[in-house]
Amino acid sequence: MSKPRIFLSPPHIGGDELKLVQETFASNWIAPLGPQVDAFEKEFAATVDVPYAVALSSGTAALHLALRWLRLKPGDEVVCSLLTFVASVNPVLYESATPVFVDSEVRSWNMDPALLAEAVENRIKRGKRPKAVVLVHLYGQSADIDGVSKICAQHEIPLIEDAAEALGATHMGKAVGSTGLCGIFSFNGNKIITTSGGGMLVSQDKALIDKARFWASQARNPAPHYEHSEVGYNYRLSNVLAAIGRGQLRVLKERVEARRRNFEYYQDALSDLPGLAFMPEADYGRSTRWLTCITINPTEAGIDRERVRVAITEENIEARPVWKPMHLQPLFRNCTCFGGTLAERLFDHGLCLPSGSSLSTADLDRVIEVIRRVYKSR
Ligand SMILES: *Cc1c(COP(=O)(O)O)cnc(C)c1O
């Protein structure tokens, strides 16, 4: 009989979600708007300390509307993080713009501000001042927001924060996603809190959020009949799912602490192994450790990441390589890229371990035991 499966980052429901969902049924607000959506937006905005928020069907939809706000034209360039999930770049293509990629820095695995400066100057010299920077906060950790926003401000380039993986993380004590022109979050099933699927766009700019809300509801102009003057989308979040989100928000702090405890448990149990290192935590912020990521340097370890990953998989445990960098994706074969060697190395050597907030120490021990066994068999 095979052992029960351990997932990478499964949903973890708290105490209030079902009761809130029952309220939506009792009130018959089974709709893409309603009091749960309004409350979720308000409570979420308070959580990340921004004045305005709109709940949407996904983080991808949130990023799409953020880019739409900038009214990009075909051929316009948008600077993106190289090491990320494809959802942080796809909306650039929806808007017929061209992504330009910037590699990570060692201390955070997020966008390197020095390389960003180089990229921006290079593009300006070619008459292609970037129309936006989409900055990803990877695996629950803030990027160097100061470093990046300084360069953006200097060249008057709007900064969009992709905080899909980093709700609960801070930079200098401030929530990620709250500094730039706007921030996007995801409530996909694998994120730190979930609505099964959903997203949020937040901003200091009321006009931006109002417009996003308008576009997300088929761009319906105010009139008793159906009147439309612009292309719209069906991007609103269901009132039922917003109820789940409200319940999840109430346990966010506990979820962050549980994920950080997972990380510490792995670190205590594995850091004596040669060539094995953990994703660093930059000193300017606090990571949620959404996923615990390790790297295995094959020359120091005498084994490679793939041997460890395959052994873990054979034990019915889910573990995955670090994101494959965008310049290695066939989709972005012809894109311009600044740097690339660090992201490539993280992809080759990096492994994401099971990191759910509901994992027991027995689960963590199972993962640790496999890794130690692979090391012994070198
Ligand atoms: C999950 C994720 C998204 C997209 O969020 P969805 O809600 O799944 O659309 C965007 N960017 C990053 C970095 C993500 O991890």
Nearest CA to ligand 1 atom 6: 59
Nearest CA to ligand 1 atom 5: 59
pLDDT tens track, the chain, 378 positions: 578 999 999 999 999 999 999 999 999 999 988 999 999 999 999 999 999 999 999 999 999 999 999 999 999 999 999 999 999 999 999 999 999 999 999 999 999 999 999 999 999 999 999 999 999 999 999 999 999 999 999 999 999 999 999 999 999 999 999 999 999 999 999 999 999 999 999 999 999 999 999 999 999 999 999 999 999 999 999 999 999 999 999 999 999 999 999 999 999 999 999 999 999 999 999 999 999 999 999 999 999 999 999 999 999 999 999 999 999 999 999 999 999 999 999 999 999 999 999 999 999 999 999 999 999 998
Q: Which two tokens stand for residue 193?
A: 């809190």
Q: How far does residue 126's CA lie from ligand 1's centre (Å)?
A: 31
Nearest atom within ligand 1 for CA of residue 61 = 9
Query: Domain tally for the chain?
Result: 2
CA 138 to centroid of chain Cα atoms: 6
Q: Which two tokens stand for residue 8?
A: 């990478």
Q: Do residues 197 and 136 share a domain?
A: yes
pLDDT at 378: 86
Q: Which two tokens stand for residue 310?
A: 């395959």
Q: Do residues 231 and 117 share a domain?
A: yes
Nearest CA to ligand 1 atom 8: 188
Boundary-marking domain end, from 249, 267, 290: 249
Q: How far does residue 226's CA lie from ligand 1's centre (Å)?
A: 32
Are the C-beta atoms of 273 and 72 separated by less than 8 Å? no
Q: How far does residue 60's CA lie from ligand 1's centre (Å)?
A: 6
Q: How far does residue 146's CA lie from ligand 1's centre (Å)?
A: 23
- Look up the CATH number of the domain holding residue 167: 3.40.640.10
Nearest atom within ligand 1 for CA of residue 187 = 7
Task: Compute the distance between CA of residue 60 and CA of residue 57 in angstroms, rounded to an integer.
Answer: 8
- Asked if residue 359 is part of any domain, the answer here is yes
User: Within 6 Å (CB) of ligand 1, which residues are found?
Assistant: 58-60, 84-85, 87-88, 136, 162, 164-165, 186, 188, 199
Q: Do residues 191 and 270 share a domain?
A: no
Dihedral pair phi/psi, residue 31, rounded to 5°: -155, 165
pLDDT at 1: 58
- Asked if residue 59 is part of any domain, the answer here is yes
Task: Compute the distance between CA of residue 314 and CA of residue 2 in angstroms, rounded to an integer.
Answer: 10
Task: Compute the distance between CA of residue 297 and CA of residue 307 in angstroms, rounded to an integer.
Answer: 12
Task: Compute the distance between CA of residue 36 and CA of residue 357 in angstroms, rounded to an integer.
Answer: 25
Q: Do residues 263 and 190 share a domain?
A: no
- Look up the CATH number of the domain holding residue 281: 3.90.1150.10
pLDDT at 342: 98
Q: How far does residue 86's CA lie from ligand 1's centre (Å)?
A: 8
CA-to-CA separations, 123 to 69, 120, 149, 211, 324, in angstroms, rounded: 22, 5, 17, 30, 25
> Which of 135-156 are b and which e, b meaning 16 or more Cβ less than 10 Å from the residue's Cβ?
bbbbbbbbbbbebbbebbeeee
Q: Do residues 72 and 212 share a domain?
A: yes
Ligand 1 pocket test: which of 54, 110, 162, 355 has the largest number of ligand atoms within 8 Å of its C-beta? 162
- Asked if residue 179 is part of any domain, the answer here is yes
- Asked if residue 7 is part of any domain, the answer here is no
Q: How far does residue 164's CA lie from ligand 1's centre (Å)?
A: 5
Boundary-marking domain end, from 249, 267, 282: 249
Boundary-marking domain end, from 249, 273, 305: 249
Ligand 1 pocket test: which of 8, 56, 86, 88 has the largest number of ligand atoms within 8 Å of its C-beta? 88
Q: Do residues 293 and 244 share a domain?
A: no
Are the C-beta atoms of 349 and 298 separated by less than 8 Å? yes
Query: For the chain, how big is the Rg over CA atoms in Å?
Result: 21
Q: Do residues 286 and 159 share a domain?
A: no
Q: How far does residue 61's CA lie from ligand 1's centre (Å)?
A: 9
Q: How far does residue 291's CA lie from ligand 1's centre (Å)?
A: 14
Q: Which two tokens stand for residue 170?
A: 């801070």
Nearest CA to ligand 1 atom 2: 164
Q: What is the pTM of this model?
A: 0.97
Task: Compute the distance between CA of residue 281 and CA of residue 184 in angstroms, rounded to an integer.
Answer: 22
Nearest CA to ligand 1 atom 11: 88
Q: How far does residue 212's CA lie from ligand 1's centre (Å)?
A: 18
102: β partners:
81, 338
pLDDT at 2: 78
Task: Compute the distance between CA of residue 163 and CA of residue 165 in angstroms, rounded to an integer.
Answer: 5
Q: Do residues 240 and 256 share a domain?
A: no
Ligand 1 pocket test: which of 188, 320, 324, 352 has the largest number of ligand atoms within 8 Å of its C-beta? 188
State the virtual CA torsion across 347, 349, 352, 353 in degrees, nearest 10.
170
> 3-class secondary structure for 204-228?
CCHHHHHHHHHHHECCEECCCCCEE
What's the domain range around 194?
Answer: 17-249
The helix/strand/coil state of 248 is helix
Q: Where are any strands of DSSP class E within the chain?
A: 52-56, 77-81, 98-102, 132-136, 159-162, 170-171, 174-175, 182-186, 199-203, 220-221, 227-228, 276-278, 285-286, 292-296, 320-321, 336-338, 350-353
Q: Do residues 74 and 196 share a domain?
A: yes
- Asked if residue 3 is part of any domain, the answer here is no
- Asked if residue 1 is part of any domain, the answer here is no
Are the C-beta atoms of 316 and 5 separated by less than 8 Å? yes
Q: Which two tokens stand for residue 4?
A: 């029960």
E strand or H helix that includes residue 345: helix 341-349
pLDDT at 266: 98
Are the C-beta atoms of 287 and 281 separated by less than 8 Å? yes
Q: How far does residue 268's CA lie from ligand 1's centre (Å)?
A: 30
- Asked if residue 9 is part of any domain, the answer here is no
Q: Do residues 213 and 314 share a domain?
A: no
Q: Do residues 272 and 223 share a domain?
A: no
- Asked if residue 300 is part of any domain, the answer here is yes
Q: Do residues 230 and 129 share a domain?
A: yes
